[in-house]
Amino acid sequence: MTAPLTPPHQPPNDAVPPHGRPSPYPPLSPDDGAPSVATELRQAAVVAAVSTVAGALLGLLWLWLAPRVPLISDGKAVFLRNSEGEAAVGADGTFVLLALGFGALAAALVFLFHRYGGVALVIALAAGGVLGSLLGWGVGTFLGPTHDVVAHAKEVGAGVEFDAPLKLEMWAGAMLAWPLAAMIVHLALTALFGPRDPEDEWPPQKETGDEA
C-alpha cells in the first residue's frame, strides 16, 4: 500500500505560493499605494505651480545676497570702480547655489508627500524648476539697480559710486541648476528610500513521499 504524497498537515494548494512556502508579504491590490493617473497629473500640476511661485523667493534672496558691482562716472563715461573685482562672477555663483538649494528642497518635499509619484512628478519638478528660475531671474533684475546706467550716472553725479544692474553672465547654465538638482535628488531618494516590491524567495527542494 502506498502512502499519500501530501502529508495530512500540508495546507491546501490555494494557500501555498508557487515557490512552496507562505509569503511573508500581504497580497497587494492593483491600487494599493500608487495614485491613479488623474491624481498623479493633479499632483504634478500643483508641484509645477508651487515651484514656479517659489521662484519669486529665489529672486528676492538673490537680490539680497548677490555681491554688487560698483560703478563710477567721470561725467563723460562710466567705469568699473574695481576692474579686478569678481562681483559679477559672484552674482552668477550666488544664483546657482540658491537654485541648487531650491531644487534639492523641492525634490525632498515631493518625495516626502508623494512617495509613490511617477514620471509626471519628475517632469513637473523639472518644468517648475525652469519656470521658477526664470521668475527668480526676472524678480531679481527688476527689483535690483536700474539697467539705464547712463541715466543713473547722470543722476548721482560724477565721482559718486553706484551699483551696476544685477544680471547673469552664464544665463543658460543658471536656468538649469534648479531642475537638474531636483531630478538628481529625487532619483537618489527614490533609489534609497522608495517603495519596493517584495522579493521572490528561492523555491525549496521538493519533498518526495515515502512508500509504505
List, in sequence order, the alpha helices (H) in 66-143: 87-113, 119-143
Structure confidence at residue 29 (pLDDT): 44
Q: How confident is the model at residue 128 (pLDDT cuts 50, 70, 90)?
A: very high
- Look up residue 14 and give its DSSP letter: G
pLDDT at 31 over 70: no
Structure confidence at residue 108 (pLDDT): 94
pLDDT at 69 over 70: yes
Q: Is 140 exposed, middle or buried (0-12, 13-18, 19+ CB in 10 A)?
A: buried
Structure confidence at residue 32 (pLDDT): 47
Distance of CA 16 to the CA centre of its chain: 43
pLDDT digits (tens, 9 = 90+) for 41-66: 898 899 999 999 999 999 999 999 99
pTM as predicted? 0.72
Q: Measured over all CA atoms, what is the biggest interatomic distance in the chain, rounded to whole angstroms?
A: 118
pLDDT digits (tens, 9 = 90+) for 169-209: 888 889 999 999 999 999 999 888 866 655 555 555 555 55
pLDDT at 5 over 80: no
pLDDT at 79 over 70: no
Total H helices, total E strands in the chain: 5, 3
Q: How confident is the model at residue 33 (pLDDT cuts 50, 70, 90)?
A: low
CA–CA separation, 89 vs 100, rounded Å? 17
Average pLDDT over residues 96-119: 90
Average pLDDT over residues 6-19: 51
Average pLDDT over residues 121-143: 95
Distances (CA, A) of 60 to 21, 134, 141, 206: 61, 13, 10, 69
Residues 6 or more apart whose Cβ sits within 8 Å of residue 61: 98
Nearest to 55 by CA among 160, 133, 148, 168: 133
C-alpha cell at 180: 537638474
Query: Mean pLDDT highest for which of 1-10, 33-42, 77-86, 128-137?
Result: 128-137
CB atoms within 10 A of CB 10: 12
Is-contact 125 47, C-beta < 8 A? yes
Structure confidence at residue 161 (pLDDT): 78
pLDDT at 158 over 80: no
CA–CA separation, 186 vs 189, rounded Å? 5
- Look up residue 115 and give its DSSP letter: T
Structure confidence at residue 15 (pLDDT): 47
Q: Which residue has the higher pLDDT, 140 or 79?
A: 140
CA–CA separation, 157 vs 198, rounded Å? 74
Strand partners, 42: none
| pLDDT averaged over every residue in the chain | 78
